[in-house]
Amino acid sequence: MTNYSFKEIQHAGKFDADIPDEKALGMWGTFSVGMFQWALKSNGRTLKKTPSVLRMKGKVSNYAYVKREVRRIIEMKNNDPDRFNRLYGGPKFVTLSPPPAAAKAKVK
């Protein structure tokens, strides 16, 4: 019998993303974040990241919005997969941009 650590029991099968730090993006205009799934390695004791199942792109100037939306989409995939599949089931690449009202409010 394999003894799993709490981290593996908690995260195996869950979806996540590595969101880069805003300072690391520097002068780039856009950035993308890949959503992956945590899976157990063949040794059965540690986790690995699967290939991205969805890539989300946004502007560095909208970093906070993009980060919030990425987290919301991942939470939806983990907690309500049927809704996720209805909204994001087809495309493998999604561009995230704030609604026009939010963009105008940020400029002021």
DSSP-derived secondary structure for 44-93: SSSEEEPPPSEEEEEEGGGHHHHHHHHHHHHHHHHH-HHHHHHHHSS-SE
45's CB contacts (< 8 A; 6+ apart) are 2, 3, 4, 5, 8
Supply the pLDDT for residue 72.
Answer: 92
Supply the pLDDT for residue 107.
Answer: 45
Q: Where are the domains of the chain?
A: 6-107
- pTM value is 0.74
Supply the pLDDT for residue 101.
Answer: 65
105: pLDDT strictly greater than 80: no
